[in-house]
A = this chain, B = another copy of it.
């Protein structure tokens, strides 16, 4: 996970596993205190009790390091089972909003996306470490809804993926935009309005 061409050679002193954990934790701490732009590699290494070289042996730079440090925050999101799709979605929306109130997530997420606009490797890393992993929530939600009969079963699996992607972009994009661009609160009321809009959209365009 910390990446970088692990030479996998059998010889030599093995890399410290403890260092990885310390570095990622230190990175999150520094993000909270300093934010993305004031975070420095030297500071992270000092917090982690690790030499700068150790850091650069494992990550190519600040971007890669922060993606890894933040990615696992997103794994805390979980799909509850409240009995109906609308309630489930609303819950996830609020979970996601809570995550985006954490300073380390707020400051880091947009920053790495900004950097990724000029760095294809970073783009891939974000996709695999964050985007693709969280699509599980949409996939699982649809499966449950179909099992409950709330949504029609996909006749063709080939259609399933584009729809999953679309729903994911709508939910994640809208919440992020509300929270970070418009800078408005994501409260119960807003979550309910947004979820209602989405539900009508899904049910209406399902057959089409």
Using CB atoms and an 8 Å cutoff, list the residues of chain A in contact with chain B.
Answer: 35-37, 103, 106-111, 113-118, 123, 126-127, 131, 162-163, 165-166, 168-170, 172-178, 180-184, 190, 193-194, 196-205, 208
Contacts and interface: CB of A to CB of B under 8 A. Distances in A.
Contacts of A175: 173
Give the interface centre of A35, A163, A182, A198 by most chain B CB atoms within 10 Å.
Answer: A182
A200 B193 contact: no
Oligomer: number of copies: 4
Task: Find the residue from A114, A176, A198 having the highest chain B CB count within 10 A.
Answer: A114
A137 to B, nearest CB: 14
Given A111-B111, A114-B114, A197 B166 contact: yes
B182 A127 contact: yes
B183 A127 contact: yes
A199 B202 CA distance: 10
A41 to B, nearest CB: 14
Contacts of A174: 169-170, 173-174
Contact of A203 (B37, B190, B200): B200
30 contacts: A36-B115, A37-B115, A37-B118, A103-B118, A107-B117, A107-B118, A108-B114, A110-B110, A110-B113, A110-B114, A113-B114, A113-B180, A113-B181, A114-B114, A127-B182, A131-B182, A162-B190, A163-B193, A165-B178, A165-B182, A166-B197, A168-B182, A170-B173, A173-B174, A173-B175, A173-B177, A173-B178, A176-B176, A196-B208, A200-B204
Point out which of A175, A178, A203, A205 has the most chain B C-beta atoms below 10 A from its C-beta.
A205
A119 B30 CA distance: 17
Contacts of A163: 193
A131 B204 contact: no
Nearest to A106: B117
Contacts of A196: 205, 208
